[in-house]
Amino acid sequence: MAVYTQVPAEEIDAFLTRYDAGRLVSAKGIAEGVENSNYLLETTGHDGALGSGGGHRYILTLYEKRVDEADLPFFMDLLDHLGARGCLVPRFIADREGKRLQQLAGRPACLIEFLTGISVTEPTVGQARAAGAALGEMHRAAEGFTGERRNALDLPGWHELAAKCGEDFDRIAPGLGARVADELAFLDAHWPADLPRSVIHADLFPDNVLMLGDEVTGLIDFYFSCTDIRAYDLAVTHSAWSFSHDGATCHGDRAAALCAGYRETHGLTEAERAAFPVLCRGAALRFLLTRAYDWINTPADALVTRKDPLAYLRRLEFYASADPAVLLGA
């Protein structure tokens, strides 16, 4: 459950009066997600009347722990850029004075366009292909975007996170601290330096892709987007779409379809293909580390469901021993 900040309905209704969005009909806290507080709002629409197909929908997001308010203009500009180039991404909605960033219940808050679709929990091969194609389209559309944001969760950032977890790693699994230290040393020695960089999503998990059947209807949750190695985005997506939830099984057909979809809309250079296994190891370590940090620092009885760091240790071990040709499926 991720509603960290409870906002009374009257307060949301009063907040909406800043916009041409109508009056509040319903507000429901959204259980999915771990980072921010999200509400699904239904309103009467700006004419004050319920449309025949029901009300108008919006997402209300209150920014919590990892999103820095100073980064929000970067995310807003990026989504404007991508949306203007045909990507199905949600726009931040401006109030009557043109303001998109607000304060609500003491937190930075934004009203966001609602996109239809559902996030799949067990992607099919067709859905993995569509996700890969959507990632490639996003990378194409991002060309020419001039905004820059450092990836706080890059290799130096992983070192910092690992240092913060320290001795507590071994409370999650005996030997985990030593394994993380070994992997960091490997990545220090092998992380590629000269691959093409661009703005990347950096968290394109199935829960951040809205779909209807095999069709992508929206890419959401750009709050980790940043400037980094472009093919690292495909590695993150590979780690998120190709495995069983516990990370014990890699579904080669899904992985191959994801990469084929990406090739259809973007493609990889020879250097990106050669570096892909290392990029996948980095992606697996990134999510292992953030999950381990949250595991250690979130009380077991907190409202939010902690995600299993070991599901990413298993992915890491898979990537560390996989045949490179198998990873890309061709």
Ligand X SMILES: Nc1ncnc2c1ncn2[C@@H]1O[C@H](COP(=O)(O)OP(=O)(O)OP(=O)(O)O)[C@@H](O)[C@H]1O
290 binds, among ligand HSE, ligand X, none (CB under 5 to 8 A by kind): ligand HSE
Judged by beta carbon, residue 149 or residue 307, the one nearer ligand HSE is 307
Which residues partner with 198 through β-bridges? 228
Question: In this structure, what is the dihedral angle of CA atoms 213, 215, 218, 223, given to the nearest 10 degrees?
Answer: 90
Q: Is 37 helix (H, G, I), strand (E, B) or coil?
A: strand
For residues 116 and 28, give the distance between their C-alpha atoms in angstroms, rounded to a whole number: 16
- CA nearest 228: which of 267, 200, 190, 189? 200
Judged by beta carbon, residue 12 or residue 328, the one nearer ligand X is 12
- Which residues are CB-contacts of 243 (< 8 A; sequence separation ≥ 6)? 249, 250, 251, 311, 314, 315, 318
Considering only 291, 310, 316, 329, the residue that binds ligand HSE (CB under 6 A) is: 291
CB of 330 to ligand X, least distance (A): 30
42 scored as a contact of ligand X (CB under 6 A): no
CB of 121 to ligand X, least distance (A): 11
Question: Tokens 């009300």, residue?
Answer: 55
Judged by beta carbon, residue 81 or residue 266, the one nearer ligand X is 81
CB of 95 to ligand X, least distance (A): 18
CB of 194 to ligand HSE, least distance (A): 27
Radius of gyration of the chain (CA): 20
286 scored as a contact of ligand HSE (CB under 6 A): no
CB of 91 to ligand X, least distance (A): 9
Footprint of ligand HSE on residues 295-314 (CB under 6 A)?
307
Q: How far is CA 174 from CA 149, 169, 183, 318, in A?
A: 36, 8, 16, 19
326 scored as a contact of ligand X (CB under 6 A): no
For residues 71 and 49, give the distance between their C-alpha atoms in angstroms, rounded to a whole number: 36
Judged by beta carbon, residue 141 or residue 240, the one nearer ligand HSE is 240
- Which residues are CB-contacts of 160 (< 8 A; sequence separation ≥ 6)? none
202: alpha, beta or left? (left if phi > 0; alpha if psi -120 to 50) = left
112 binds, among ligand X, ligand HSE, none (CB under 5 to 8 A by kind): ligand X
First to last CA, the chain: 39
Stretch binding ligand HSE (CB under 6 A), from 89-97, 137-145, 161-169, 285-293: 285-293
CB of 98 to ligand HSE, least distance (A): 31
Footprint of ligand HSE on residues 49-78 (CB under 6 A)?
none
Considering only 133, 220, 275, 327, the residue that binds ligand X (CB under 6 A) is: 220
Please calculate the CA angle 193-138-121 and round it to the nearest 5 degrees.
100
203 scored as a contact of ligand HSE (CB under 6 A): yes
276 binds, among ligand HSE, ligand X, none (CB under 5 to 8 A by kind): none
In 63-201, which ranges are E strands?
A: 102-104, 107-113, 197-200
CB of 54 to ligand X, least distance (A): 15
291 binds, among ligand HSE, ligand X, none (CB under 5 to 8 A by kind): ligand HSE
CB of 93 to ligand X, least distance (A): 10
For residues 9 and 235, give the distance between their C-alpha atoms in angstroms, rounded to a whole number: 41
For residues 226 and 152, give the distance between their C-alpha atoms in angstroms, rounded to a whole number: 8
Judged by beta carbon, residue 42 or residue 203, the one nearer ligand HSE is 203
Considering only 34, 204, 209, 258, the residue that binds ligand X (CB under 6 A) is: 34
Binding site for ligand X (CB under 6 A): 2, 30, 32-36, 38, 59, 90, 112-115, 119, 207-208, 220-221, 223
